[in-house]
Amino acid sequence: MADTVLVTGVSGFIGGHVAAGLLRRGYRVRGSVRSESRVAEVHAAMAAASADSSRLEVCRLDLLSDEGWAAATAGCRYVVHVASPFVLAKPEDPDELIRPAVEGATRAVTTALNTGVERVVMTSALATIQFARAPRTHLYSAADWTAASDPGLNAYTVSKVKAELAARDIAARHGAPDRLALINPGAVIGPLLTDDPGTSVTAIQQLLAGALPMIPDLRLPWISVDDVAEAHIAAMTSAAAGGHRTIVATDPMSMTEVAKLLRTRLPEQSRRLPKWSMPTWLTWLASAFEPQLRDNRWLIGRAQRFDRAPAESLLGHRLRPVPEAIEETARSLAEHQLV
């Protein structure tokens, strides 16, 4: 019988691609959702990804409740914990993000280790690494840590740092650090499986929709969702991934470069792209008034570098080119009539 993998957050962008990749490889998948109303949507997403969902079962789990976790994990050889807090808008209270992120990681890792799961693969974020204080020429690696106490961080970043630290602490207390593997993806883009574009894809959607008067000087470490999903699956069985965090991201590309690429490759969809780029100094000034820019001040005008060697070793190939991922994302947004 095929091995069973619990994938939490299966209705999300990354979780859906992970589940589809597992099904195509012959695994049985038990996917968790927040609401049973999303079950049909998950099966439709698997069909869109050309994955046979006859080996998929969907269960309901809540990051803030113990109910169902032991049953969902029972019989699973691996757990891939992708689920993250669901907040429609920036919360007034940071704990609305931080508490479910930490408690969800705690429940997923603790239950998995207690029920004998061989490996837990947890989705963290590049944000837990890339905001460590370092010189501008620094090559960021898994050894770097964003300080959760840094006053300049937004609630999302703090939630990811604290959740990752909680997961590592639990694995250490169980005497099984190598049974936990962490994936730290950058700005994840690629083909949509549902009409929910996800956070990073939304940045490209806003460009194409002409939602921004000018293009801010934000530089994002884009990465194909295919590489991110493959990295999660490879980390389930890779001895090298156990006990480690793996950066899955490319060096940043600016929003201005993204707009230029879209104009060249998809001129028919680029008519509403902003015509003007916002200089770095003006982006900084605007961040004092615009919440989204304020929350991403760390990314204004910064040309960071990331160590991609461990990810490429885990995957067995080079990371996919960002221009192709951006084009694929834009075409998918158009197919879903989201631009």
Structure tokens at 268: 């028919």
How is the chain split among helix, strand and coil, in percent rounded to 5?
45, 15, 40
Torsion angle of C-alpha atoms 286, 289, 291, 296, degrees rounded to 10 = 40
Q: What whole-number distance in Å separates Cα of residue 62 and Cα of residue 77?
A: 21
pLDDT at 123 (0 to 100): 98
Are 156 and 292 spatial neighbours (Cβ–Cβ below 8 Å)? no
Are 60 and 33 spatial neighbours (Cβ–Cβ below 8 Å)? yes
pTM for the model: 0.94
Structure tokens at 119: 């490996």
Could you tell me the domains of the chain? 4-189+223-250+303-320 (3.40.50.720)
Angle 17-269-319 (CA atoms, 0-180°, nearest 5)? 35
pLDDT at 1 (0 to 100): 64
Burial (CB count <10 Å: 0-12, 13-18, 19+), residue 64: exposed
Q: 19-74: per-residue pLDDT in tens?
A: 999 999 999 999 999 988 889 999 999 999 999 999 999 999 999 999 999 999 99
Are 201 and 329 spatial neighbours (Cβ–Cβ below 8 Å)? yes
pLDDT at 86 (0 to 100): 60
* Of the candidates 222, 218, 256, the residue with the CA atom closest to the CA atom of residue 324: 222
Neighbouring CB atoms inside 10 A of 264's CB total: 11
Q: What whole-number distance in Å separates Cα of residue 176 and Cα of residue 95?
A: 29
Q: What whole-number distance in Å separates Cα of residue 298 and Cα of residue 158?
A: 14
Amino acid at 52: D
Residues of the chain with pLDDT under 50: 88
Q: What whole-number distance in Å separates Cα of residue 293 and Cα of residue 298?
A: 9
Q: What whole-number distance in Å separates Cα of residue 179 and Cα of residue 265?
A: 43
Structure tokens at 36: 């049973």
Q: Is 195 helix (H, G, I), strand (E, B) or coil?
A: coil
